[in-house]
Structure 1
Amino acid sequence: MFIPAHFAARPEAIHDLLVRPAAANLVTMTSQGMIATLLPFIHGPSIGEHGALHGHLARNNPQWSEPAIGESLVIIQGADAYVSPSWYASKAEHGRVVPTWNYSTAHVYGTLVIHDDPVWLGNHVRRLSGLHEAGFEKPWSVDDAPERYIAGQLRATVGIELLITRIEAKTKLSQNRSGADVDGVVAGLRARGQAECAADVERANPNRDACRG
């Protein structure tokens, strides 16, 4: 990944990308070529500095049964948004501004492990659904469904675990702009209903008041 120094993700930003409830693309190289699947994941502990990403695939999906060659890759995408140059204070000052795109992303590399085990898979889907149901007034639980039905669903899926070996991450969130320009971006994003990206911009520029001098 191309990462200019001012867009390099800080450790806390990488952590947020890993633990934020989301889906990501699993990419593997196999003897049949590259295969990619978008799937929900959850970050979990494992041997190594970065832990592991846990997910599951449909049993009919060939990605789990085609052995991965070398490292596998999970591409995590944070909030992203178009940035209009009209939001910059510097547009009125000198006009030397152009549109851009703000985003956060992490390329997570590792060794792919397959878990064709109903116990592992059952624990995984309970953790995953618990993570996403936590904000509901009446959260759904796996155990709300009939036991035989859940057993059938588990038989139709296979667990996957990416044992993370390295992470490349980038947060392109207006860090190269003045404090006044950043304020304009935050206001513009919030006005367009893109509060999550606006909050990411604010976190990436905690000292922007000092830039206005």
Structure 2
Amino acid sequence: MYVPAAFRQNDLSALQEEITDCRLATLISSGESGLQASHLPLLLRADEGQYGTLYGHLARANPHAQVLAKGGEALVIFHTTDAYISPSWYPAKAEHGKVVPTWNYIAVHAYGRAEVFDDAERLLILLRELTDRHERPRPQPWALDDAPRDYIDGMLRAIVGFALPIERLEGKWKLGQNRSDADQAGVKSGLDVSTDPRDRALARRMTDR
């Protein structure tokens, strides 16, 4: 990922928080038949390894599982917040007109080599953690034990799990840091009044930064 110095994020806690906040990640690997990409909810165990370890699962029939098992480097992309930036929001437009549209966003890239596993108990622990993470905010959370155990056992035979220790992390917080304070304030004001909640989410991230 191309990351100019102004946009580089090196703080490990901020990078790990972004990974945790991302509900659906993109896992990319290269195999004999070319690139494989899968869109997956992942679990980060932040205290395992230098940068943390990612856990997830794939359908056993998914060719991506075989590619991961061969141990080549994989890339995982986490992307939570983005917005189109109109040049009309820059005060600089009225001053000299030398402005163009852009896109602001936050992204994290994690690199590593996966260990694939199909042990039923280990898979069950992983599925419980993933399910609990997404069910916990619900008024009546569903739990894995709500389904018949023989049904769950059949589902477990149809998947493989993986653990991916993160070997390298890249973070890009492209939030207009290369613009003047006035231009940044203009962008934030424009995003704040947008009817699109994704725009307002990026405005909040600009404030947080």
Aligned match of 1:199: 204
The CA deviation at 1:45 is 4.2
Aligned match of 1:208: none
Q: Distance in 1 between matches of 2:93 and 2:75?
A: 40
Residue pairs, 1:132-171, within 5 angstroms: 132-171=134-173
The CA deviation at 1:92 is 2.5
Q: Distance in 2 between matches of 1:170 and 1:21?
A: 14
Choose the corresponding residue for 2:100, options 92, 98, 120. Answer: 98
Q: Distance in 2 between matches of 1:158 and 1:197?
A: 36
The CA deviation at 1:178 is 2.3
Q: Distance in 2 between matches of 1:87 and 1:165?
A: 39
Give the letter aligned to residue 198 of structure 1: A
Give the letter aligned to residue 179 of structure 2: R
Aligned match of 2:8: 8
The CA deviation at 1:47 is 4.5
Aligned match of 1:130: 132
**TM-score for the superposition, normalised by structure 2:** 0.89
- From the superposition, tell whether residues 188 and 13 of structure 1 become closer, same or farther in structure 2 (CA, over 3 Å): farther
**TM-score for the superposition, normalised by structure 1:** 0.87
| Unaligned runs of at least 5 residues, structure 2 | none
The CA deviation at 1:90 is 2.4
Aligned match of 1:207: none
Moved more, 180-189 or 166-175: 180-189
Q: Distance in 2 between matches of 1:90 and 1:154?
A: 58
The CA deviation at 1:46 is 5.8
Give the letter aligned to residue 55 of structure 1: G
Deviations 1:24-48 (A, max 9, x none): 1111122332211111111114642
Conserved? CA contact 1:31–1:69, under 8 Å: no
Conserved? CA contact 2:54–2:164, under 8 Å: yes
- From the superposition, tell whether residues 69 and 142 of structure 1 become closer, same or farther in structure 2 (CA, over 3 Å): closer
The CA deviation at 1:110 is 0.6
Identity %: 43
Deviations 1:5-62 (A, max 9, x none): 0000141431222211411111112233221111111111464210111111011101
Number of matched residues?
204
Q: Distance in 2 between matches of 1:69 and 1:118?
A: 21
Q: Distance in 1 between matches of 2:14 and 2:95?
A: 32
Deviations 1:127-180 (A, max 9, x none): 111111222222221122222222222221111111111112211111112223
Runs of 4+ displaced beyond 4 Å: none
Give the letter aligned to residue 19 of structure 2: L
Aligned-CA RMSD value: 1.8
Conserved? CA contact 1:21–1:132, under 8 Å: no
| SS of residue in 2 equivalent to 1:63 | helix
Choose the corresponding residue for 1:172, options 174, 192, 199. Answer: 174
